[in-house]
Amino acid sequence: MSALVHTTSCCIVGGGPAGAMLALLFARRGVPVALLEMHKDFDREFRGDTIHPSVLEILDQIGLADRLHQLPHSKATGLVVEFPSGPIRTFDVSRLKTRFPYTLIMPQARFLQFIASEAAKYPHFKLMMRAQVRKLVEENGVVVGVHYLDSEGGEHEIRANLIVGTDGRFSMVRRLAGFEPIRLAPTVDVFSFRLPKPPGAAEVTAGSYAGVGPGCMFVAFEHDDHWQVQVNFAAGQYQAWRAQGVASLRKNLIEAIPRLAKYAESLTDWSQVNLLSVEVSRCPVWHKPGLLLIGDAAHVMSPVAGVGINYAVLDAVVAANVLTRPLLAGKVTDAHLAEVQRQREGPTRMIQQMQARMGRPMIDSIQKATRPTGPPWQLRVFFKIPILRDIPSRLVAFGPRRVRLKEV
């Protein structure tokens, strides 16, 4: 049976932050856009929940920031690292000059559903869930479409002036296009699990906490009704963790972040724990004629500082700035796609380098398999010097420079 053929101006593959935001920005500017998502909904494990001031400012530009704040959420002004000798506050975005001097903490599924529902208000937007992309359609060296299967196995083909791959760290579009990412840092394995909070148990002060345990680092984010906990540890140690049992994981968590002791009792079985291997990488080239990669498809971030959502969204904003007029005119050149990479590659390189420097103490502590009694003296000094202490906060909140949505 031959595939049903559809046409649009832009086809975006992947309904994560980069894809959903780019689809919204194109649709509100009158660019016909189809968004393909392979899953039945937006709910995933291991999706970041931190929305930084940079994204909130973009949403404010298009009149959506206040509406987003009406959804259940919590706020974090910084990251507190717990040591036996006492806590030390690292990032502190409350000192930055912005209408939003905090990080909004919200389940990514809730955020994506909000963006998709806003995009659905525009007639130029179309969302296809459970759409499994199987191959790229190429003619004369130019990508002109994608072939996908729907939820019932029906074959479809979408023809478009531009295909954008936003399908994450395991991008099918990237693989089909033949792009090979370069690994930039050692692989780190991550456990993720939730600790439910009883009603009325909100206690947000900084909103996010970290603590070093034996051979690992715990990071916890407080939501309105639960704590989201990540455990970073050396790759290849999963079986050793399993052999020690979930009770050992719970004990180490309580020792690393004592404030979670009253919630940790709910962690009783490994079925509650999800595992992901994180390999920080970046593609040397993000585009070929007719096709562009952005977000995790182009550059996989470390969990350090939780910047994945924000850099994906800023990629989408730059892509909308550069590509809206060419798409409306019906002609997108490789030079346009190269311009998107040119504007976003520098900030991406910088934040990945910063993540590597910040993550080095974590790697060292993992390799030594000990819990330090106090922070390194360099860290204590750094965060006491005003001219230095806000540099990481600005980089995490905005990147090397603020990105604005341009008028068409």
Provide DSSP, 200-235: T----SSEEEEEEETTEEEEEEE-SSEEEEEEEEET
The Cα-based distances of 105 to 19, 118, 160, 217 in angstroms read 20, 20, 35, 20
- 316 closest CA partner among 164, 178, 113: 164
In tens digits, the chain (408 residues) has pLDDT values of 567 889 999 999 999 999 999 999 999 999 999 999 999 888 766 567 889 999 999 999 999 999 999 999 989 888 888 877 777 777 788 888 999 999 999 989 999 999 999 999 999 999 999 999 999 999 999 999 999 999 888 999 999 999 999 999 999 999 999 999 998 877 778 899 999 987 766 555 557 888 888 888 898 988 888 899 999 887 888 899 999 999 999 999 999 999 899 899 999 999 999 998 877 899 999 999 999 999 999 999 877 667 888 999 999 999 999 999 999 999 999 999 999 999 999 999 988 887 766 555 555 555 555 566 666 666 666 677 767 778 778 888 888 889 999 987
Specify if 300 maps to a domain: yes
pTM to 2 decimals? 0.89
Q: Whole-angstrom Cα distance, residue 394 to residue 386?
A: 13
Specify if 28 maps to a domain: yes
334-368 and 386-398 helices, crossing angle to 10°: 130
CATH for 350? 3.50.50.60
- 26 closest CA partner among 144, 161, 171: 161
Specify if 10 maps to a domain: yes
The Cα-based distances of 75 to 97, 194, 202, 328 in angstroms read 17, 17, 11, 38
Specify if 384 maps to a domain: no
The predicted structure's pLDDT at residue 204: 55
CA 402 to chain centre: 18
Specify if 252 maps to a domain: no
Specify if 228 maps to a domain: no
The predicted structure's pLDDT at residue 208: 84
The predicted structure's pLDDT at residue 184: 82
User: What number of other Cβ atoms are within 10 A of residue 239's Cβ?
Assistant: 8
Specify if 128 maps to a domain: yes
Question: Could you list the residue range(s) of the whole structural domain that residue 294 is in?
Answer: 4-73+106-183+281-360
Q: Whole-angstrom Cα distance, residue 264 to residue 259?
A: 10
Q: Whole-angstrom Cα distance, residue 64 to residue 23?
A: 15
Specify if 365 maps to a domain: no
Q: Whole-angstrom Cα distance, residue 127 to residue 35?
A: 5
User: What number of other Cβ atoms are within 10 A of residue 388's Cβ?
Assistant: 11
For the chain, the domain total comes to 1
